[in-house]
Chain A
Amino acid sequence: MILPDERGYFGDYGGQFVPETLIPVLDELATAYKEASADKAFWAEFEALSRDYSGRPTALYLAQRLTENCGGARIFLKREDLAHTGAHKINNALGQGLLALRMGKRRIIAETGAGQHGVAAAAVCAKLGLECIVYMGEEDVRRQSLNVFRMRLMGAEVRPVHSGSRTLKDAINEAIRDWVTNPDTYYLLGSVVGPYPYPVMVRDFQSVIGKETRQQILDKSGRLPDYIIACVGGGSNAIGIFYSFLNDKEVNLIGVEAAGRGLSTGEHAASLMAGTVGVLHGTKSYVLQTKDGQIRETHSISAGLDYPGVGPEHSYLKDSGRATYVAVTDQEALEGFKLLCKTEGIIPALEPAHAIFHAAKMASSLEKEKTIVVNLSGRGDKDMDIVAQALEVKL
């Protein structure tokens, strides 16, 4: 079965729950993307720029000392932290930037939480000569001031969002409001969420991660990995690395959500683990909501995972059992963070630090012949203030 279906559904999840104004705009986008997808020249340009601009392929690295430290399965890291602008987000920004250009759209809007997608979008827009406006919750503007500065340096206009919880979900609301008002604008959405065709398009642009990983692990170990582990905010880095392995049933796919202060406290962002089915930002998927159907405020130490929804394809993979999902707390993520710093000299972003913690925990209980690949989705430069604060260090 080819997913999603023609209505943009992965099983029960997905769709287009948006104001009528945007339906023709989404139709136009889906058509443009289909045409681009079928055009070899489009992909040739994407690949050339992925190589020369983003620095792909990123390495698959055997984390030897981390492996020894855990004393079990071998742990490989897919080094998305080495990609230009410091995270996997550039893959999607580049793909959509090229699509916008092809569609003749010159005004680009984007949302950002941690600022990584905003930075990637700002970079691509600067590179392609496009206007870039980034919506960012007031709270995130404060928490991630370094990334705000980066975006502005690259010519983007950062618009703080004062409504609701003043975080990522409100930034998306505001970006959608801008888009409804300016339907000629291109909305460069940053994860596999939102209405169709975004979950497909973003997945396709991110699937370069898994394609490379597959070849690299075969080259290095002669077989497919036993486990692939990735953190899940909206789910783009996870689906990006999972996608090439979906049909390899022997490869276990594990998504790691943010358990924040603990699932039982209610202060977390684990939509798949603790959410129920609902509709948020144009798509039907697992959502963190109250019993009255109001979207809940979330918490995670990592701004990139701090989102009450998740991509519809992950909801489908969860229900079908093809992928499993777990959750890791703020404290555990910090441990994973410190562990990778000390054993490998790699400072991860707090988002993949969740995946690192889970991988390390699993590795210790597995035989040495087993292999785990962790998607190291980004580097930790952006998180220095937050980590220092959490470790009670004054910078």
Chain B
Amino acid sequence: MSKIASVFSQPGHKALIAYVTVGYPSVEATLKVVPLLADSGCDIVELGIPFSDPLADGVTIQKSSFHALQNGVTPRLCLELAGQLSQKVDIPLVFMTYYNPVFSYGLDKFCSACAGSGISGIIIPDLPPDEGSDLEAISQRQGLDLIYLLAPTSTGERIRLAAQRSRGFIYLVSVTGVTGARERVPADLEAFVTRVRKAAAQPLCVGFGISTPEQASQIARIADGVIVGSRIIQLMEKEDDFASLAELVRGLRGSIDKISGQ
């Protein structure tokens, strides 16, 4: 069983997944905040490798990526930090980035470096399964899970494609839109999750727009995991000790666990 799969293997347990942009607001902050996220109840952390043209991201993550690039963050540095972090925390770490930095690094080199740094999986929002065969084969050889995304616009055929190919879990994009905290959970989300559930055996994790414990518990009722990104980035902007971030994460954890009855 992959390290990611084992997160979902405990019956009734719903996963809390956090996203951080590596090097935002600083490299030191990333090194500090990931262990804090793990301690506060996150099951998986997505480490965002910043890209110059993040077209699936809203303003919050656009800004954090831009800032991180100004701090000199490179894929190489992200791999190094992942290596350090995987020594410090026990939970699976996955990279989230766009295809060009990975392609430019070299798919083989990138995947073997990921494996060497203790990375468990990769999420690439601009790499649909139709374009993913190469990376899929190579990542699999290195024991990495290539996690595909589905969206509310996905047809039955596309859902089956992701169901055949996604490893670790399937990332369900909650809305038609880019990343960014939103007021409420879309009304048709449950129908979307149900549609995917019929075709897919993988755990289903929902992300994009989720920021509060109330929203997290709504998601936990219908899905296997909750992904929170922009809200975390927003809270990292303000303070050094990440007290309100830790509070948020504990709140998310609590509200999710209430649903799963733990």
Contact = CB atoms under 8 A, between A and B. Distances in A.
A176 B74 contact: no
Given A15-B131, A176-B55, A293-B51, 4 more contacts: A16-B130, A18-B126, A19-B126, A164-B66
B66 A173 contact: no
Interface in A285-316: 287, 289, 291-295
Contact of B150 (A20, A169, A173): A20
A49 B234 CA distance: 51
Interface in A166-183: 169-170, 173, 176-177, 180-183
A278 B101 CA distance: 9
Contacts of B54: 173
A17 B131 contact: yes
A29 to B, nearest CB: 13
A277 B103 CA distance: 9
A200 B162 CA distance: 27
A24 interface: yes
Interface in B44-60: 51-56, 58-59
A278 B104 CA distance: 7
B55 A177 contact: yes
B238 to A, nearest CB: 22
A309 to B, nearest CB: 10
* 7 interchain residue pairs of minimum CB distance: A293-B104, A293-B101, A21-B151, A181-B177, A294-B52, A292-B74, A20-B151
B176 A279 contact: no
B173 A21 contact: yes
Interface in A18-44: 18-25
B96 to A, nearest CB: 13
B195 interface: no
A163 B177 contact: no
Contacts of B59: 163
A279 B155 CA distance: 25
Nearest to B175: A181
A192 interface: no
A23 B53 contact: no
A370 interface: no
Given A21-B151, A24-B158, A292-B75, A280 B128 contact: no
B155 A16 contact: no
B151 A282 contact: no
Contacts of A294: 51-52, 69, 101
Contact of B178 (A20, A23, A181, A291): A181
Contacts of A17: 99, 126-128, 131
B166 to A, nearest CB: 11
B151 to A, nearest CB: 4
A19 B102 contact: no
B148 interface: yes
B22 to A, nearest CB: 13
A8 to B, nearest CB: 9
B153 A279 contact: no
Nearest to A289: B104
Contact of B177 (A180, A278, A293): A180
Contacts of A223: none
A280 B176 contact: no
A278 B103 contact: yes
Interface string B87-101: 000000000001111
A287 B100 contact: yes
A333 B219 CA distance: 58
A142 interface: no
B100 A289 contact: yes
A17 B127 CA distance: 5
Contacts of B103: 277-279, 293
A23 B104 contact: no
A220 interface: no
Nearest to B110: A293
Contact of B128 (A20, A173, A177): A20
A7 interface: yes
Contacts of A177: 55-56, 58, 178
B32 interface: no
B131 A24 contact: no
Q: Which of B52, B59, B66, B177 has the most CB of A within 10 A?
A: B52
Contacts of B158: 20, 23-24
Interface in B144-175: 148-155, 158, 162, 173
A375 to B, nearest CB: 29
B62 interface: yes
Given A20-B151, A21-B153, A24-B158, A280 B53 contact: yes
